[in-house]
C-alpha cells in the first residue's frame, strides 16, 4: 500500500488539484468519519471521490458466469457458440428484427440478442460460429424467459472480432440450457458485485465497527446460544458452556466502491493477530474504546474472498469472508510482472 504522501502526490497529479488542497480534503474526510480511518484510508476515499484510480488491478477479466443483471459497461471476450438466424417479429403493430448470439467461455454461456439495426453487425463484422469476439460497453439484464441473464448492446455497446487465439475447447458448454459450472471466486471490483457471487475483492480496510469483538456459541454444535443471567442455552443441547468466537466487521474500499465485510473466527484472528482468548481478555481489561484504539488493521490492504449477500436488516451488500490475506506488495508485483510476461 502506498504511503499517505505518495497517495497525495498521485491524487494531485491525476486530479490537477494542488497537494495542500488534497491534504485538507483528507483531513476533512477523516473528521467526517469521526477519525475512524487512517490518513491513507481517507486518501483512498478522497481519490475515489475525485475519480482518481489508486488501486490498480491490471487484469479485469470478466467471465460469463459472473455477469449479473443490472451490470453496466460489461466488457467481455468470449467465443460465439452459435448464431441464430434473424427473424422478424411484430410487437404492438410494429415490425422488428431480432437475432441472437450465444457467447461462451469456460465459465458458461450467455445470450446476446441483437435488435433491429444491431442485426446487421453480424454481417458487417463477418461473424460466424467459433469466432472470438470482444463485446464492450454492453449491459446485462434479467432474462425473464429463461430465469437467467442476458447481454444487451444498447447505444454504447460494441462488438469487435478478435484475431483468433487457441482453438476452442471441445467440451465447452455450448447449449444455453447447459448448467453453468460451479462458480469459482474471481477477482472483482466492488462496483461489479451482486448478491450470490463468490468473489475476491482487493481493498483497503477503511473502518471497523467498534463493537464487542466476539460472540458465544454452543460448545457442542457450534450453533446459536441464548444468554440469560449468565447461563447459556442451546436449543439442541440445553444448558452449555459457551464457546467464544471472534467477530470483526468493517468496511473495505477498492476505489470503485465500498463494501461491508464480516470476518469470523480464524479470519478475524488473522486481523487481530491473536486468538479469541487474548482478544477477549484484552477487551474485558481495556474496555471498548481503548481496545479499538489499539487495533492496527485500519488502512491495511486486504484480499478478501467470500460470498456476497444482502444484509437482512439494511439490505446493503456485504461479503462474508472465508479467507483473508494481507496484500504482500512484493508478491503482488511479482504476480503482475508474470502476467505481462516478464
Q: Which three cell numbers stand for residue 153?
A: 448492446
> Residue 240 Cβ, how far from Zn ion at the closest point, in Å?
6
Give the residue with the Cβ less far from Zn ion, 139 or 214. Answer: 214
Per-residue x/- marks for Zn ion, 163-202, CB under 5 A?
----------------------------------------
Assign 3-class secondary structure to 304-338.
EEEEEEECCCCCCEEEEEEEEEECCHHHHHHHHHH
Number of H helices, E strands in the chain: 8, 17
**232 touching Zn ion, by CB under 5 A:** no
> Residue 295 Cβ, how far from Zn ion at the closest point, in Å?
31
Site size for Zn ion, by CB under 5 A?
A: 7
Give the residue with the Cβ less far from Zn ion, 78 or 218. Answer: 218
Cβ–Cβ under 8 Å, residues 66 and 188: yes
Give the residue with the Cβ less far from Zn ion, 175 or 220. Answer: 220
Candidates 23-31, 173-181, 215-223, 263-271: pick the segment binding Zn ion (CB under 5 A): 215-223
Q: Which three cell numbers stand for residue 209?
A: 465497527
Per-residue x/- marks for Zn ion, 235-264, CB under 5 A?
-xx---------------------------
> Residue 234 Cβ, how far from Zn ion at the closest point, in Å?
3
At 246, which helix (H) or strand (E)? Answer: strand 242-253
Q: Which three cell numbers stand for residue 40?
A: 491513507
Cβ neighbours for 276, distance < 8 A, ≥ 6 positions apart: 214, 244, 245, 246, 265, 269
Question: Pick from 68, 119, 132, 221: which binds Zn ion (CB under 5 A)?
Answer: 221
> Residue 232 Cβ, how far from Zn ion at the closest point, in Å?
10
Sort residue 299 into left (φ over 0), alpha (ψ -120 to 50) or beta. Answer: left
319-297-248 Cα angle (round to 5) = 45
> Residue 218 Cβ, how far from Zn ion at the closest point, in Å?
3
Question: Pick from 197, 218, 259, 319: which binds Zn ion (CB under 5 A)?
Answer: 218
Cβ–Cβ under 8 Å, residues 142 and 207: no
**224 touching Zn ion, by CB under 5 A:** no
Q: Which three cell numbers stand for residue 9?
A: 502526490
Find cell 448478491 and name the residue: 195
Candidates 214-222, 263-271, 287-295, 317-325: pick the segment binding Zn ion (CB under 5 A): 214-222
DSSP β-bridge partners for residue 113: 100
Give the residue with the Cβ less far from Zn ion, 102 or 218. Answer: 218
**234 touching Zn ion, by CB under 5 A:** yes
- Packed helices 19-32 and 39-49: angle between N→C axes, nearest 10 degrees: 110
Question: Which residues are at the interface with Zn ion (CB under 5 A)?
Answer: 218, 220-221, 223, 234, 236-237
Amino acid at each position: 500500500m502506498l504511503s499517505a504522501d505518495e497517495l497525495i502526490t498521485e491524487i494531485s497529479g491525476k486530479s490537477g488539484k494542488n497537494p495542500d488542497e488534497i491534504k485538507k480534503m483528507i483531513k476533512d474526510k477523516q473528521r467526517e468519519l469521526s477519525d475512524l480511518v487512517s490518513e491513507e484510508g481517507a486518501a483512498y476515499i478522497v481519490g475515489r471521490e475525485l475519480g482518481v484510480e489508486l488501486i490498480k488491478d491490471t487484469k479485469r477479466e470478466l467471465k460469463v458466469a459472473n455477469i449479473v443483471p443490472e451490470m453496466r459497461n460489461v466488457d467481455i471476450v468470449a467465443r460465439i457458440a452459435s448464431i441464430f438466424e434473424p427473424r422478424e417479429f411484430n410487437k404492438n403493430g410494429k415490425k422488428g428484427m431480432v437475432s441472437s448470439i450465444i457467447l461462451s467461455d469456460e465459465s458458461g454461456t450467455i445470450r446476446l440478442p441483437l435488435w433491429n439495426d444491431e442485426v446487421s453487425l453480424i454481417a458487417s463484422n463477418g461473424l460466424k460460429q467459433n469466432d472470438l469476439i470482444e463485446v464492450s460497453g454492453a449491459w446485462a439484464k434479467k432474462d425473464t424467459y429463461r430465469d437467467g441473464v442476458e447481454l444487451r448492446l444498447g447505444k454504447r455497446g460494441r462488438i469487435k472480432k478478435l484475431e483468433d487465439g487457441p482453438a476452442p475447447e471441445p467440451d465447452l458448454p455450448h447449449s444455453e440450457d447447459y448448467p453453468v459450472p460451479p462458480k469459482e471466486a474471481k477477482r472483482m471490483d466492488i462496483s461489479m458485485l451482486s448478491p450470490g457471487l463468490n468473489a475476491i475483492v482487493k481493498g483497503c480496510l477503511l473502518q471497523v465497527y467498534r463493537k464487542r469483538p466476539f460472540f458465544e456459541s454452543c460448545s457442542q454444535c457450534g450453533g446459536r446460544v441464548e444468554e440469560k443471567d449468565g447461563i447459556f442455552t442451546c436449543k439442541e443441547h440445553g444448558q452449555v458452556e459457551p464457546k467464544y468466537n471472534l467477530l470483526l466487521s468493517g468496511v473495505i474500499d477498492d476505489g470503485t466502491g465500498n463494501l461491508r465485510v464480516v470476518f469470523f473466527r480464524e479470519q478475524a484472528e488473522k486481523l487481530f493477530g491473536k486468538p479469541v482468548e487474548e482478544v477477549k481478555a484484552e477487551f474485558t481489561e481495556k474496555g471498548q474504546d481503548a481496545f479499538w484504539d489499539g487495533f492496527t488493521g485500519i488502512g491495511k490492504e486486504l484480499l478478501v474472498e467470500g460470498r456476497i449477500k444482502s444484509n437482512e436488516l439494511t439490505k446493503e451488500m456485504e461479503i462474508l469472508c472465508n479467507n483473508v490475506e494481507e496484500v504482500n506488495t512484493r508478491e503482488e508485483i511479482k504476480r503482475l510482472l508474470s502476467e505481462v510476461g516478464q
